[in-house]
């Protein structure tokens, strides 16, 4: 597994000549990223109108990690993610209407209105949960991989978490267990440089989080998390190796959230020049530019995709807003099977 091929940060380095099917797939990745961006923008607007309760954690800017990684999984694989997980759940193929309905606390939401923004779950699409205790889901991901060993072809358990999670005990226990049992777990750290409001340098003594894998004799690789093809190709290769006994892998995907940590956070602690530099590396803009450069589509074509994605999210939002809230009696359902 070569980290070098995936860390150039240059989207133009990825790919070669592409067939029509491959081009359709590439355009699909673009569409999915744009749709997620539109979704998050819509969520932000609904929040300011107080139509979404509690807290939410937006993922604008991190779409390439979710879309790149999830596009490399197979239908039977298992994805788990964090409370900043709208992007990952949508990337697995969740219905935007059902996802938006869940965020709005409506009847036909993905979780029947019991989970909300922080617990989006869509098991039929391989999204086994969004977990809101930092790092608390990493042991779950290890267990999913353990269960998968019983299948003819082992499933891959891919789990997303933030840079902040690398300082919590469950992270270390999970990496250790996955390593000693050589389980097919791909640990994907979305390093967006801030654990909630704190810059990573203030909380973590290593600058490369891939270092964390060393004490578990685990392979690790850093990837440009704003390069959707670099992420996709890396995860595809890692998954193929994991399926044949290659053991676990820690991936550090360097990315950046465009917004604050949560609704109450305007993110004023971030230097303006840092924000500006990352906005220039916007994964959607970069990938769009690459698609045009490669001659796969022109600017008008991309605009059409963006319009279509925006329309999908708009329709999903309207459909979700038209749904009633869940029947209060349903609160007693789903405690036990």
For another protein, the binding residues (CB under 8 A) are 78, 109-115, 119, 121-124, 128-129, 131, 133, 136-148, 150, 155, 157, 169-170, 173-174, 176-177, 180, 333-337
Q: Nearer Cβ to another protein, position 87 or 122?
A: 122
- CA 90/CA 317 separation, integer angstroms: 14
Q: Nearer Cβ to another protein, position 139 or 301?
A: 139
| Dihedral sign, Cα of residue 39, residue 45, residue 49, residue 50 | positive
Nearest approach, Cβ of 265 to another protein (angstroms)? 23
φ, ψ (nearest 5 deg) of residue 57 = -135, 110
Nearest approach, Cβ of 337 to another protein (angstroms)? 4
Task: Tell me if 92 sits within 8 A of 69, measured CB to CB.
Answer: no
Q: Nearer Cβ to another protein, position 65 or 174?
A: 174
Nearest approach, Cβ of 74 to another protein (angstroms)? 14
Concatenating the DSSP letter of every residue in 20-45 gives HHHHHHHHHHHHHHHHHHHHHHHHHH
Task: Tell me if 146 sits within 8 A of 117, measured CB to CB.
Answer: no
State the SS3 of 212-269.
HHHHHCCEEEEEECCCHHHHHHHHHHHHHHHHCCCCCEEEEEECCCCCCCCCCCCCCC
Nearest approach, Cβ of 54 to another protein (angstroms)? 13
Strands 198-199, 194-195: parallel, antiparallel or unpaired by DSSP?
A: antiparallel
Q: Nearer Cβ to another protein, position 133 or 277?
A: 133
Nearest approach, Cβ of 278 to another protein (angstroms)? 32
Q: Nearer Cβ to another protein, position 112 or 283?
A: 112
Nearest approach, Cβ of 121 to another protein (angstroms)? 4
Q: Nearer Cβ to another protein, position 126 or 195?
A: 126
- Element (H or E) spanning 303, and its range? helix 299-321
């Amino acid at each position: 597994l070569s980290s070098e091929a995936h860390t150039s940060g240059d989207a133009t380095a990825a790919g070669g000549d592409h067939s029509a099917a491959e081009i359709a797939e590439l355009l699909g990745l673009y569409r999915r990223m744009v749709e997620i961006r539109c979704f998050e923008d819509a969520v932000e607007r609904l929040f300011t109108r107080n139509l979404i309760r509690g807290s939410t954690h937006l993922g604008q800017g991190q779409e390439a990690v979710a879309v790149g990684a999830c596009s490399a999984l197979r239908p039977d694989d298992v994805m788990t993610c964090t409370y900043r997980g709208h992007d990952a759940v949508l990337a697995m193929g969740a219905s935007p209407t059902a996802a938006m309905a869940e965020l709005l606390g409506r009847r036909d939401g993905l979780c029947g209105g019991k989970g909300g923004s922080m617990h989006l779950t869509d098991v039929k699409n391989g999204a086994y949960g969004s977990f809101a205790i930092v790092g608390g889901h990493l042991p779950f991901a290890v267990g999913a991989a353990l269960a998968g060993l019983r299948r003819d072809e082992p499933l891959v358990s891919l789990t997303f978490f933030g840079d902040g999670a690398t300082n919590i005990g469950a992270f270390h226990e999970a990496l250790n267990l996955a390593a000693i049992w050589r389980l097919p777990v791909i640990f994907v750290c979305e390093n967006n440089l801030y654990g909630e409001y704190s810059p990573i340098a203030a909380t973590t003594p290593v600058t490369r989080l891939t270092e964390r894998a060393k004490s578990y004799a685990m392979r690790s690789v850093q990837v440009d998390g704003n390069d959707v093809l670099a992420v996709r190709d890396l995860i595809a290769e890692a998954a193929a190796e994991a399926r044949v006994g290659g053991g676990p892998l820690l991936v550090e995907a360097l990315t950046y959230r465009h917004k604050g940590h949560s609704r109450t956070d305007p993110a004023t602690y971030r230097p303006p020049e840092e924000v500006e530099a990352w906005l220039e590396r916007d994964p959607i803009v970069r990938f769009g530019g690459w698609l045009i450069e490669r001659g796969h589509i022109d600017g008008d074509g991309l605009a059409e995709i963006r319009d279509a994605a925006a329309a999908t999210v708009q329709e999903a939002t309207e459909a979700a807003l038209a749904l009633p809230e869940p029947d209060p009696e349903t609160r007693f359902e789903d405690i036990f099977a």
